[in-house]
Amino acid sequence: MNLELKNKVAIVGGASKGIGFGIAHILAQEGASVAITARREPELSAAAERIRKETGVRVLPIVADARRAEDCRRIVETVKAEFGGLDILINNDGAPPIGEIMSFDDAAWTKAVEQNLMYVVRMVREAVPLMKERGGGSILNITAISAIQPIPGFALSVATWSGVIGYAKTLSLEIAPFGINVNTICPGYIDTTRLRKVFAAGEEPAEVVQARLREEIPVKRIGTVDDIGNLVALLVSSKGSYITGAAIQVDGGLLRSVR
């Protein structure tokens, strides 16, 4: 299938490693020019160099913090100046801390809202006018399966990503007439640095947790960043244009629910 992504322009957030890197790499393989963002410059530049080398497309690293409004604005302005427009926006970054609900004060909640919800709101506000200028586009948010099936300890993410799912659904209704689709992917367990850190922070040895998870996940394995990236590439391509307002789990069958 030709996804017709050649010469499209994409912004991929949190792409120096993990899920964001996997998405940026697949979009680049499909011929899209990609602007990638993260806070740490050396890792971001190394990721940009690797994608450039392996795919031959134009890759623009932009050092930015998703929690800062001025950084969100600067990302989109830089892409407009360098690439002349924007077709695809992937909202992805890190996540707020894990802990018991009762342990978080107002400052922690405000930070989580800035990182997970306001980041998406701000990026979309900057990006949609450029997509309208192009006659269409695609927006894709990365959240987590816990936004649909909550896990104790993940309240800051669950509550704010539920907001993202509601926001994205509403947005999809309002901007469908402009040829822009909006979807949210809810990953299950995906093998990245972050997941390995979560395992390492637990009381049980990481190998024990991993073995139990492999047993629990119906497809009997932990996911890869390509499991996410392949679906993203389809959803943001012309072939995915009839899919909008969806929140889709990519979890090896882990979600125990019909909806």
Ligand X SMILES: NC(=O)c1ccc[n+]([C@@H]2O[C@H](COP(=O)([O-])OP(=O)(O)OC[C@H]3O[C@@H](n4cnc5c(N)ncnc54)[C@H](OP(=O)(O)O)[C@@H]3O)[C@@H](O)[C@H]2O)c1
Name the site residues for ligand X (rule: CB under 6 A). 14-20, 37-40, 43, 65-67, 92-95, 115, 142, 144, 187, 189-190, 192-195
Long-range Cβ contacts of 167-170 (<8 Å, 24+ apart): 167/117, 167/120, 167/121, 168/120, 168/139, 168/141, 168/245, 168/247, 169/245, 169/247
**In this complex, which beta carbon is closest to ligand X, that of residue 148 or of residue 175?**
148
Contact call for residues 5 and 90 (beta carbons, < 8 A): no
**In this complex, which beta carbon is closest to ligand X, that of residue 19 or of residue 175?**
19
CB of 198 to ligand X, least distance (A): 8
**In this complex, which beta carbon is closest to ligand X, that of residue 43 or of residue 226?**
43
Sheet holding 180-187, edge to edge: 59-63, 33-38, 9-12, 88-91, 137-142, 180-187, 247-250
Q: Indicate the residue type of 185.
A: I
**In this complex, which beta carbon is closest to ligand X, that of residue 140 or of residue 175?**
140
CB of 133 to ligand X, least distance (A): 26
Long-range Cβ contacts of 190-195 (<8 Å, 24+ apart): 190/18, 190/19, 190/222, 190/223, 190/224, 190/225, 190/227, 190/228, 191/222, 191/223, 191/224, 191/225, 192/17, 192/18, 192/19, 192/225, 193/17, 193/18, 194/18, 194/94, 194/95, 195/222
CB of 47 to ligand X, least distance (A): 8
**In this complex, which beta carbon is closest to ligand X, that of residue 142 or of residue 175?**
142
**In this complex, which beta carbon is closest to ligand X, that of residue 192 or of residue 237?**
192
Contact call for residues 47 and 71 (beta carbons, < 8 A): no
**In this complex, which beta carbon is closest to ligand X, that of residue 2 or of residue 193?**
193
Contact call for residues 148 and 255 (beta carbons, < 8 A): yes
CB of 55 to ligand X, least distance (A): 18
* Nearest position to ligand X, beta carbon: 18
CB of 174 to ligand X, least distance (A): 25
CB of 40 to ligand X, least distance (A): 3
CB of 249 to ligand X, least distance (A): 10
